Amino acid sequence: MDPTKDQKLWMYENMVLSRRFEERIEKIYLEGKTPAFNMADGPIPGEMHLSNGQEPVAVGVCAHLTAEDAVTATHRPHHQAIAKGVDLKAMAAEIFGKATGLSGGRGGHMHLFDPSVNFACAGIIAQGCGPACGTALSRKLQGKPGVAVSFLGEGAANQGAFHEAMNLAALWKLPVIFVIEDNAWGISVAKSDATSVPRNDVRAAGYGIPGHYIEGNDPYAIFDVAGQAIARARAGEGPTLIEVETYRLAGHFMGDAEQYRPKGEKEALFARDPIPAMRARLIADGDATEKDLDRIEARAAETVDEAIQFARDSALAPETDALTAVFATQ
Amino acid sequence: MLDTQTNERRLTIARAMAEAIQQEMQADERVFVMGEDIGALGGVFGNTRGLVDEFGRERVRDTPISETAFISAAVGAAMDGMRPVVELMFVDFFGVCFDAIYNLMAKNTYFSGGNCAVPMVLMTSTGGGYSDAGQHSQCLYGTFAHLPGMKVVSPSNAYDAKGLMTAAMRDDSPVVYMFHKGLQGMGWLGTEEGAIVDTPETGYTVEIGKARVVREGKDVTLVGLAMGVHNALKAADKLAEEGVSAEVVDLVSLVPLDRETVLNSVAKTGRLIVVDEDYHSYGVSGEIIASVCEHDVSKLKAAPKRVTYPDVPIPYARHMEQFCLPNPDKIVAAYKAM
């Protein structure tokens, strides 16, 4: 399944949008945190998990989704949220803990919920696998269209929740796609030190469903395999497991000294940064001109500027909002 | 079953729960049931009996033994517009799936700023007394009630069981519905006659968060829930023989907790004994006593007492378990020691 020119440009724009957004977040995150780094200080407190480098997975998959399809994302969710169409202003404001944020500051960057595009997050490893099955089951029971994609990291493939959900999805033939972003590191532990098999796609066999491994962090290859899996799910043929080789250009979280990385690894990863690579490919393939891509990049930068400005300008919610929304209002 | 002499329709809690679910499934297509052995078997404790015959295996689905998967799936389905009723067969099994319960089910409403409701019922069995040892006999009321984001109810009789279940299925927040095995009317788990009461066929709700004075008295307030209510009522009979008038409060719900009904009763009697089959420390009994003391300690004529399960895992041997469990005699003794 090959992306059309429009799909390619959509993927590129969303990759750039995610990268520009995270570049801004990265800078602002350090405000108030120097010279002494205290996670609680500055306009963006708390943990910050950046996804730069992993953008191809989010766009390659989400290019096939519409708002009615569901995504459960991970603790590293920005690229997935952006590709799924979560409102960037409300998301930025949530990261700033503002009243205009997706949940008025109650969730933060690991707990982004946007029901208008069926996007949910979870801060605990493999936690989204079960809910994705539930959304898929709900569609089946209601006779409504839509598939559910559960994103997870390669470390999450060793969680019981992942395996239980794979069995459930296969058993009930649910329209779910499990997408593992293999960025090679679970915080500081290498995949080879944590996982009994080199590639998690083989684990699909244990549940009688198709499994695929995609090398090279290649957005077109991801688009191809994800497209087939999603079409299969839409046709009622059940779940698929996909693992994608990708790269985490940043640390696990901001403040991570990354001393566990072998010498030279980061430099090598930056040399394979998927965004310049895709830019060159779009031009080489005649899908876009330098000018087209400059325009896309400028538009992305502008969208990010607006979102950040909106977040900065927004007011904090009253402290007493902490005491509300524990239960649904009937 | 209809008692032709009294014209009462006396149901067990198990049948009352099943009837509530049946009627709600007839009325609301969004309601479906998931859990282990809830289909053909009708639930190990009888509370889904007959449902699969009427509604089929799509809406009454037996699950794999994967509590994390199906409880978190229920969260996803609830957030997508369904109203799942899921069963955690024994509350003790929470150890394999508590992430789905308290990190997902209980928190997604808050994390979404109230934009995503999680309307689901998690029903689970509690309680011992039949020598099933320490992984199949706990109550854990305090454990669940302690964590914000979940409503928690526990009926002591069939009338409340039906009305609470209907209310739980109609609630837009997650409700943990804790039913005591000894009150199910299953026979093989013993039968508590006091739990089998007149239960109207027509659907109705019992308000979540409202306690009930089930016996009026003036000398001492006995507060309990589920099996504790029956122990308290039996203790009240014994105390009455000695000329002591005990008031019995059935909490019915733990979250929200109806402190007002307890406070009003204690204001009247001046004495408080809490009966709780859950562990002694850090639980419901401590919460009730703290609530009364915080509100107005001068209302108390004596230091409050609690009759609870000691802080030990639940033993298998019958004589040892019975030694640990609350019973009417212990409540009477607690009163005499005041």
**B20 lies in the same domain as B140:** yes
- Helix, strand, coil shares, percent, chain A, to 5: 50, 10, 40
Q: Looking at the complex, does the CB of residue A107 fall below 8 Å from at least one CB of chain B?
A: yes
Q: With left for phi above 0 and alpha for psi between -120 and 50, is residue A284 left, alpha or beta?
A: alpha
- Between helix A290-313 and helix A88-95 the angle, nearest 10°, is 50
B221 and B269 assigned to the same domain: yes
Q: Which 8-state DSSP code applies to residue A102?
A: T
Report phi then psi at B179, rounded to 5: -110, 135
> Quick one: average pLDDT of A52-59?
97
Last residue of a domain, one of B198, B230, B246: B198
Out of A136, A168, A324, whose CB is closest to B70?
A168
Domain coverage including residue B302 = 212-336
Q: How confident is the model at residue A286 (pLDDT cuts 50, 70, 90)?
A: very high
Would the CB atoms of B76 and A133 count as touching at under 8 Å? yes
Q: What is the pLDDT of residue B8?
A: 82
Q: Are residues B173 and B216 in the same domain?
A: no
Using one digit for the tens of pLDDT, what is the confidence trace for A129-163?
999 999 999 999 999 999 999 999 999 999 999 99
Within a domain: residue A36? yes
Average pLDDT over residues B329-334: 98
Helix (H, G, I), strand (E, B) or coil at B120: coil
A161 touches chain B (CB under 8 A): yes
Asked if residue A232 is part of any domain, the answer here is yes
Q: How many helices (H) and strands (E) does chain A have?
A: 10, 8
Whether residue B192 is found in the same domain as residue B96:
yes
The predicted-structure confidence for B169-211, as pLDDT tens digits, reads as follows: 999 999 999 999 999 998 888 889 999 999 999 999 999 999 9
Give yes or no: residues B149 and B61 share one domain: yes
d(CA B59, CA B65): 18
Q: Which residue has the tokens 């030990």?
A: B312
Collapsing DSSP to helix, strand or coil, B39 comes out as coil
Is the CB of residue A44 less than 8 Å from the CB of residue A11?
Answer: no
pLDDT tens digit string along B277-324?
999 999 999 999 999 999 999 999 999 999 999 999 999 999 999 999
Domain range enclosing A117:
5-309
Provide the pairing of β-strand B8-11 with B2-3: antiparallel
Same domain, B233 and B149: no
Domain-located, residue B5 = no
Q: Is the residue at A60 inside a domain?
A: yes
Q: How far apart are alpha carbons A207 and A214 in whole angstroms?
A: 20
d(CA B254, CA B211): 9
Task: Identify the pLDDT of residue B1.
Answer: 52
Phi–psi pair at B236, nearest 5 degrees: -65, -40
Q: Which helix (H) or strand (E) holds B331?
A: helix B328-336
A114, A94 contact by CB (below 8 A): no
Summarised one tens digit per residue, pLDDT across range B109-156 is 999 999 999 999 999 999 999 999 999 999 999 999 999 999 999 999
d(C-alpha A95, C-alpha B115), whole Å? 17
Share above pLDDT 90 across residues of chain A, in percent, rounded to a whole number:
96
Q: Which B residues in the span 3-32 are in contact with A, Cβ-Cβ below 8 Å?
A: 32
Which carries the bigger pLDDT value, residue A255 or residue B99?
Answer: B99
Q: How close does chain A come to B319, measured CA to CA in Å?
A: 38
B191 touches chain A (CB under 8 A): no
State pLDDT tens for residues A96-121: 999 999 999 999 999 999 999 999 99
Residue A132 is assigned to a structural domain of this protein: yes
As to burial, measured by CB atoms within 10 angstroms (0-12 exposed, 13-18 middle, 19+ buried), residue A222 is buried
Asked if residue B21 belongs to a domain, the reply is yes
User: Shortest Cα distance from B167 to chain A (angstroms)?
Assistant: 12
Instruction: Give the count of domains, chain B.
Output: 2
For the purposes of burial, counting CB atoms within 10 Å of the CB of B330, is it exposed (0-12), middle (13-18) or buried (19 or more)? Answer: middle
Mean pLDDT of A270-294: 97
Does the CB of A165 have a partner CB in chain B at under 8 Å? yes
**Chain A / chain B CB contacts < 8 angstroms:** 155
* A110, A114, A164, best to mutate vs chain B, most B CBs in 10 Å: A164
Check A130 against B100: CB less than 8 A apart.
yes
Element (H, E) at B287: helix B284-296
Q: Which residue matches tokens 């559910």?
A: A148
> pLDDT by residue (tens digit) across B252-277?
999 999 999 999 999 999 999 999 99
Q: What is the mean pLDDT of chain B?
A: 96
B15 and B88 in one domain? yes
Whether residue B160 sits in one domain with residue B59: yes
Indicate if B231 and B306 belong to the same structural domain.
yes
Q: Is residue B204 part of a domain?
A: no
pLDDT tens column, B238-248: 999 999 999 99
Copy the structure tokens of residue B308.
């609870």
Answer yes or no: do B194 and B226 share one domain. Answer: no
Of B139, B168, B198, the residue that ends a domain is B198
Calculate how close chain A gets to B309, using CA atoms only, in Å: 31
Residue B190: per-residue pLDDT: 80
What distance in Å separates the CA atoms of residue A109 and residue A97, rounded to the nearest whole number? 9
Sign of CA dihedral A265, A268, A272, A275: positive
Per-residue confidence band for A188, with pLDDT thresholds at 50, 70 and 90: very high
Tokens of B334: 């607690």
Q: Confidence band (pLDDT; 50, 70, 90) for A330?
A: low
Asked if residue B227 and residue B184 are part of one domain, the reply reads no
B132 lies in some domain = yes
- Measured between alpha carbons, how far is residue B81 from residues A135, B170, B242, B319 in Å? 9, 13, 56, 49
- The answer as to whether B206 is a domain residue is no
B1 against A19, higher pLDDT: A19
**Interchain contact, A161 vs B69, CB within 8 Å:** yes
Tell me if B270 is assigned to some domain: yes
Question: Residue B71 is which amino acid?
Answer: I
Q: How many CB atoms lie within 10 A of CB B310?
A: 11
Whether the per-residue pLDDT at B2 is higher than 60: the answer is: no
Q: Which CATH number goes with the domain that contains A176?
A: 3.40.50.970
Within 13 Å of residue A292, how many CA atoms lie on the same side as its CB?
15
Give tens-digit pLDDT for B215-237.
999 999 999 999 999 999 999 99
- For residue B167, give every residue at least 6 positions away whose Cβ sits within 8 Å of its Cβ, in sequence order, or none: B175, B205, B206, B207, B208
Are B34 and B139 in the same domain?
Answer: yes
How many whole angstroms separate alpha carbon A149 and alpha carbon A172?
Answer: 16
CA–CA gap between residue A147 and residue A137 (Å, rounded): 10
Q: Do B73 and A102 touch (CB under 8 A)?
A: no
Query: Taking CB atoms and an 8 Å limit, are A131 and B119 in contact across chains?
Result: no
Query: Would you say residue B4 has pLDDT above 70?
Result: no
- Candidate from A138, A160, A168 with C-beta closest to B80: A138
How far is the CA of B293 from the CAs of A61, B265, B285, in angstroms? 58, 13, 12
HSE of A50, CA atoms in CB hemisphere, 13 A: 23
A137 in a structural domain:
yes
Cβ atoms B304, B289 nearer than 8 A: yes
Is A35 within a domain? yes
CATH code, domain with B269: 3.40.50.920
The residue behind tokens 């992430």 is B99
Q: How does strand A240-245 pair with strand A211-214?
A: parallel
Quick one: residue B96, left, alpha or beta (phi over 0 = left, psi -120 to 50 = alpha)? alpha
Q: Are A329 and B116 within 8 A, CB to CB?
A: no
Beta strands across the sheet bearing B305-309: B212-215, B246-250, B220-224, B272-279, B305-309
Amino acid at B270: G
> Which of B171, B198, B225 is at the close of a domain?
B198
Can you tell me the mean pLDDT for A192-215? 98
Whether residue B3 is predicted with pLDDT greater than 90 in this model: the reply is no
Residues B183, B158: Cα–Cα separation, whole Å: 9
Residue A78 lies in a domain: yes
Distance from CA of A287 to the nearest CA of B (A): 39
Query: The domain that contains B64 carries what CATH number?
Result: 3.40.50.970
Domain membership of residue A48 (yes or no) is: yes
B80 shares contact with chain A (CB less than 8 Å): yes
Cβ atoms of residues A321 and A101 within 8 Å: no
Cα angle B75, B162, B115 (rounded to 5 degrees) comes to: 30
How many domains, in total, are found in chain A? 1
